[in-house]
Structure 1
Amino acid sequence: MKKSLKIFIPVISFFLIIILSLFLAANYLLKEALSPVHPNDAPDSDYYIGQPEKPAPDPSDTVETAAYNSFNASYAWLKENSIKCSTQSFDGLKLNAYLAKQKDECHNYIITVHGWKSKPKNISSYAEHFYQNKFNVLVPGMRGHGWSDGDFIDMGYFCKYDIKEWCSYITQNDPEARIALWGISMGGTTVMLTTGLELPQNILCAVEDCGYASAWDQLCYRLKIEYNLPAFPLMNMADSFIKSKYNFSLKDVDCLEALKKSRTPILFIHGLKDDFVPPDNLQRCYDAAACEKKLLEIPEAVHARSVFTDSEKYWSTVDAFLNKYFFPQEEITE
């Protein structure tokens, strides 16, 4: 009996250590992916109070330098030319946004959706471009990202309902509104998920830039790349925590299923040197989409840098796509 215990206790201890280690690793993964960004910032303040901005990049990195300069300049424009507006989500969260309206009467709107742990500042240059091209521009602060309410990041699952709510906000204030959606990274995923919902006819088209097809696949990929760990069982444990704590599953964040139901024309964009969201997500989403669709590849672009890598190709394609639905008489000939 004593001999059996001597063998049994170390074995049980070993398995308990393994289980505890897996639990801690899964919990770390969960916090890393879904922890909110400064949820207590005041709604009328700038983002990331007390947190320094990233330093200016090395001037030799022309793409990052272009992005850095553009974001800073355009954010000043956005704050100066926008009003701040609010609405309420289906689950009672206060959602805040910038709204830049044309000085003359205009019923064309575009909603721009920022990415994971990002902020409106980082898409302000896109907003300024759309404004210059005859759109009213709504730039929401997404739930869990510091300005709008929300105590976790949902990878796009609940955000899609927030974007639909912003569409309702616009149409309630302007019944003649015609709306486009644009999103980057997690914002691109959110846009794709939104198009899978039942949307009113005044949602004319959408543009997604470097979104991931599936939150499950994306986190499995990052787990392998960053920690060289297999998905099983860490992802399964983490997803169990998410289901019990946040009432959704990473597997529910599935653009492929949403796109099968989409009737909104979509432009899909991806940089072919993207090592954060692999470029194969582009073809997977494009192939799944049941709607009218167009594809744009930027060969040298890394994640979320397509517009700064080949600005002319990016904007000529995006503008032509939007013109097709909003300004057909002005459509750019490719």
Structure 2
Amino acid sequence: MNLKKISGVISFLFVLAIVALFFAKQQIDDYLTQPRLDKTQLIIVQDGSNFSRLGEQLLEESIVTDLRWWKVIGKLRPELTRIRSGTYQIKEGYNLEDILSEINTGKEYQFKVTFVEGSTFKEWLISINNAELLKPLQKTEAEIIDALNIPHKKLEGLLFPETYHYRADMSAFALIKKAYVHQNSVLEKLWAEREKGLPYKTPYEALIMASIIEKESGLSNDRDKISSVFVNRLRMGMRLQTDPTVIYGMGERYKGRIRSKDLREKTAYNTYTMYGLPPTPIAMPSEAALYATLHPAKTKYLYFVSKGDGTSYFSKSLREHNNAVNKYIRGK
């Protein structure tokens, strides 16, 4: 074979190689950019996973249909191979490059659970048990109190109600601890800034009152006036006479209605039969309820009744209050 023919063969092979590389690059680009998901889903990358194992996992979960280019991607795109364990949200329309980039960030998907203002610890337990991928609570209330060195016998009122974000497999105990620390911090700050002369000896007493105000207030605009009613009653030595304490004291027996005999029943929480505050909070109060407790409006109100629209009617005398009850409750 002469040099001319050899040169021609070499040129042909070179062109063939270029074409092959171009074809391979095109195939790899298509492999990486082809949309893989028709709906958003979560993927859990286990501890110890590597790029090779991730490929097998994606194949098992039908996110990819084959691994023919997997090793080549590892060679050509090493920045996509830094796999980090965790739980990731893979969104609808993501391609393989998007998926790998997401897993490479290490930014795990944040789950969330919401505890509403005025909820009880019993209701928190229901939300915790239903929370997705949150490790179950393995401690009793008494054990939690002991573990957190809390100087009270119940968790009621001590946890800050809000929406909490968490990563997969976070423990429910860690979440409760976070809520306790938050509530304690808020209470400590507001107690230090409280108005002088309030009838509360300790922050815990203020927390008890805040929980009552939380359950009694439909609108935030009324909280400081409701607070003033209870402050005025405490100063005068009157019973608080608030229905939410009766309901809390009834426990499981409450079926949506309070009867006259329930108001007369002596329980540790019935403020119709006892003077002063109940022994513990009756719910988880919000920061707004705590603020209203420690900054009551300056009024001479001694009574209030719900108007049925989230607001309350406030009265200075029993006669005026009874007229308001007839109007707003009895419809007379």
Q: TM-score, normalised by structure 2?
A: 0.26
Which structure: greater strand fraction? 1
> Is the radius of gyration larger for structure 1 or structure 2?
2
Q: TM-score, normalised by structure 1?
A: 0.26
